A and B are shown apart, each in its own frame.
Chain A
Amino acid sequence: AQSVTQLGSHVSVSEGALVLLRCNYSSSVPPYLFWYVQYPNQGLQLLLKYTSAATLVKGINGFEAEFKKSETSFHLTKPSAHMSDAAEYFCAVTDGGSGGSNYKLTFGKGTLLTVNP
């Protein structure tokens, strides 16, 4: 069974500072990994995804994440935070199994990012 652990339910940074949101996964097969963002009172939007093509993945809004198999991690970073980045961020994993199982996303519990002026 696969699982995702997001370290830190709440991260607070100053505008212009580095954003680092941590995600560790557990999977018995090579995983597909995703970061989603949820702005207040909205649905989830895909930021980026890892599908084994490249270990450093670039997403929208200046975010990127690096897949590190040795550390079973997929941390999300952004060099300089903007006020508009304030949202909740979810890491998710799915395996490459056959049939319906390969569509089942397992989400972490989320990290709320606050950006201070």
Chain B
Amino acid sequence: NAGVTQTPKFQVLKTGQSMTLQCAQDMNHEYMSWYRQDPGMGLRLIHYSVGAGITDQGEVPNGYNVSRSTTEDFPLRLLSAAPSQTSVYFCASSRSLAGAFNEQFFGPGTRLTVL
């Protein structure tokens, strides 16, 4: 299994540009989520999904959109990038069986810089 994969690894955008961060998992996990990591802030939840067709907002959803058309993929869209979105983005997935104590598996991250 490849686990959780993310593309691209690095990206530089100009303010106002749009882009999609890709996330895929091959473990048939129902739950997927996106976090951003900023220095001294830990990881903060952006959006999450408990299954195909179901998404919900996390702690910091503004400026980001998500959709979940398949179990495997959970892309994160930045519609109009802002310098405040400069961060490292992590995708994670887990099984849904009896929920909360299932390990979340993290991807390697995408480092995004918005100029």
B38-54 interface code vs A (CB 8 A; 1 in, 0 out): 00111111001010001
Q: A20 → chain B, closest Cβ, in Å?
A: 19
A95 and B99 alpha carbons, distance in the complex (Å): 10
The size bracket of the interface on B is 20 to 34
Tell me which residues from 66 to 117 in chain A have a Cβ below 8 Å from any Cβ of chain B: 90, 94-97, 99-100, 102-110
Which one of B12-20, B69-77, B79-87, B100-108 is at the A interface?
B100-108
Tell me which residues from 1 to 32 in chain A have a Cβ below 8 Å from any Cβ of chain B: 9, 32
Whether B31 lies near A103 (C-beta < 8 A) is: yes
The size bracket of the interface on A is 20 to 34
Chain B residues near A36 (CB-CB < 8 A): 106
A51 and B45 alpha carbons, distance in the complex (Å): 21
Chain A residues near B107 (CB-CB < 8 A): 43
Chain B residues near A104 (CB-CB < 8 A): 33, 45, 48, 58
Which chain A residue has the least Cβ–Cβ distance from B96? A103
Given known A43-B109, A46-B103, A100-B56, contact A9–B40 (CB-CB < 8 A)? yes
Using a CB–CB cutoff of 8 Å, the interface residues on chain A facing chain B are 9, 32, 36, 42-46, 49, 51, 90, 94-97, 99-100, 102-110
Q: Across chains A and B, which 7 residue pairs bring their CB atoms closest together, nearest first?
A: A43-B106, A51-B101, A102-B100, A107-B42, A102-B99, A109-B42, A44-B106
